[in-house]
A and B are shown apart, each in its own frame.
Chain A
Amino acid sequence: MFDEPYRWIDAIHQRRDYIAAQLERATPVLAVSVAEGIILATFHRQTPKIFELYDRMALAGVGHPADLESVRGHLLSMAHVEGFQRSTSDVTIERLALFGLAPKLKGAFEDVSVPPVILNVLLAEIGPDPSKDLLLQVSYDGNILRSSCYAVLGPDDESRTKDSQLLKERLPAHPAPLSAVLPVMGRFFLEVLYSPEERGHDESGNLVDPEKAAECGRRLLTERVWEGVLLDRSTPSRVRRIPADPGWFR
């Protein structure tokens, strides 16, 4: 059935469309390099999306929870076996992404005879200082996108570009303290997840109804579950969970 090149390419296009449709409603994951480390944040409804991966490293994913769990297990195994055989400092997200993840995702994407993997992945690694922080996004087709100061993991390239621009405009100069970045993240999620009217803003973006804005923030924290995870430079072998502060969401 897929022997002819045209049919295979057609199947790949359909597969891409199918995955895009499945990922369409995913809430993005933000990752920002800050003075203290790297902060990753998102909201979920059912299952977590941000995980501790290894010393200095975290993993986040948007997509199907079962696929995320498979990828998480694979990377956990790879990191811990390699780190035990050699040194924890020899494990890097670059190696995990290039040798462990991207080829698997590409292989799964292009094998049109099996169900697709519905997942985009973000890997974060703190360096000894903010200039050495690294963020790698690996998409469902195995492509890798590298950044250092901030990243938005979303459903597709279009939303990532749009959301990245939105985040970039609001972030203070790198590296900012964590306390300055968290309220920016809070406002970002409100803007992405709710319409201006729901947030008490007019069409020009001016706040016209503060009570409505506060209500929108309360609604967000009630309807969804906040995930805030800090890769902390002062304790690199253990991530720190950052609880939500309602003050960030207004």
Chain B
Amino acid sequence: MKTTESLFPSEEGLRLPPRSGYLPDLLRGHSLDPLRSRLSGAETAGLKGVAHGTTILAFHFSEGVLVAGDRRATASNRIMSNRVDKILEIDGSALLAISGSPAMALEMGRILDHSLKFYRRSQLAEISLEGKLRILAQLLKENLPMAVEGIGAVAPLFVARDGEAVRIYFYDILGAHFEGVEFSVGGSGSPEVQGILRYLDRWGEKKLRSLSRAEALLLSLRLLETASYFDAATGGVGGQDPVYPVIRILTPSSLETVADEQIASLYRNEVMRVR
């Protein structure tokens, strides 16, 4: 009788998961490198016009954190799409708002989503918040060659639960992450939004954390409209074929996508009204 150290006698050919529970380790074990893009300078020269350009924002309000983003993707001076969803649900329990190269950012979102599920299912435990943050940091670090080539930079916002709290984190393209205590913004249209949020939180009638849901929704739409006024790469709401921003709300117990009808009504009545 053969002796074997493996649990399963015919383990040869079995695809066992890595003990780390880290999905990219599993994929590499199958000769799949999830962020495989190691291009030479000559190869990247033709890619300088790939899609990018965004405004994403997240801020605390009375119920949790609101995360919103415009829908436009641009490549140089061309509008590639006005229907991009940049606020990604991650494992039904977190949100990733993406800015930068959509190709890399969407792939990172997919890897992160699969990674959290794979960890939970293989290790039979939820990964910690710090663990989630580290996975995303690692993905950004692995994407560094593309980022420094100037074609694949990604700088996301990550919003996740921490026990009974919800926290906002922002990343740089190297993977460093910091908590946005009251709010965080990202993308080419973010400077105006950041200034307004800072002003309101410091001197507004209410702190951001005290805003009601209705007030928070309206503020997010007005902020995105302001960003689109100054930034050509941030999409506004066109008159003929309106496509509205995506708004998702993460609370300690729920994750909700705000319905288009509600956003449309707010736009008509509170954002686009003429004084």
Most buried by A among B2, B4, B14: B14
Interchain CB contact (< 8 A) of B23 among A53, A74, A80, A107? A80
Residues of A within 8 A of B4 (CB): 114-115
A80-B1 contact, Cβ under 8 Å, with A74-B14, A115-B9, A237-B92: no
| B16-42 Cβ-contact flags toward A at 8 Å (1 or 0) | 110000010011001010100000000
Chain A residue nearest to B91 (CB atoms) is: A237
Majority SS at the chain B contact face: loop
Are B7's CB and A80's CB within 8 A? no
With both chains docked as a complex, state the minimum distance between the C-beta of B108 and any C-beta of chain A, in angstroms. 13
Chain B residue nearest to A116 (CB atoms) is: B9
State the interface size on chain A (CB cutoff 8 A): 33
Interchain CB contact (< 8 A) of A81 among B30, B117, B122? B30
Per the bound structure, the CA–CA distance linking A237 and B6 in Å amounts to 31
Are B15's CB and A74's CB within 8 A? yes
Are B8's CB and A81's CB within 8 A? no
Residues of A within 8 A of B120 (CB): 52
Majority SS at the chain A contact face: helix
Interchain CB contact (< 8 A) of B11 among A48, A52, A55, A70? A70
A214 at the interface (CB under 8 A from B): no
A113 at the interface (CB under 8 A from B): yes
A76-B122 contact, Cβ under 8 Å, with A114-B4, A237-B117, A238-B92: yes
8 A Cβ contacts from B97-125 to A: 110-111, 114, 117-118, 120-122, 124
B163 at the interface (CB under 8 A from A): no
Interchain CB contact (< 8 A) of B9 among A74, A83, A111, A238? A111
8 A Cβ contacts from B166-211 to A: none
B13 at the interface (CB under 8 A from A): yes
Residues of A within 8 A of B10 (CB): 104, 107-108, 111, 114, 117
With both chains docked as a complex, state the minimum distance between the C-beta of A83 and any C-beta of chain B, in angstroms. 7
Which residues of A come within 8 Å of B, CB atoms? 48, 51-55, 66-67, 69-71, 73-74, 76-78, 80-81, 83-85, 104, 107-108, 111, 113-117, 235, 237-238
Complex A-B: 10 CB contacts under 8 Å: A67-B8, A76-B118, A76-B121, A77-B26, A84-B23, A104-B8, A114-B1, A115-B4, A115-B9, A237-B92
The 8 closest A-B pairs by CB, nearest first: A114-B9, A70-B8, A77-B15, A108-B10, A66-B7, A70-B7, A73-B16, A74-B14
Which residues of B come within 8 Å of A, CB atoms? 1-2, 4, 6-11, 13-17, 23, 26-27, 30, 32, 34, 91-92, 110-111, 114, 117-118, 120-122, 124
Starting from the known contacts A76-B17, A84-B34, A115-B9, 20 additional A-B residue pairs (CB-CB under 8 Å) come to: A48-B124, A51-B121, A52-B121, A54-B121, A55-B117, A70-B7, A70-B11, A73-B17, A74-B15, A76-B121, A76-B122, A77-B17, A84-B27, A84-B32, A104-B14, A108-B9, A114-B4, A115-B1, A235-B92, A238-B92
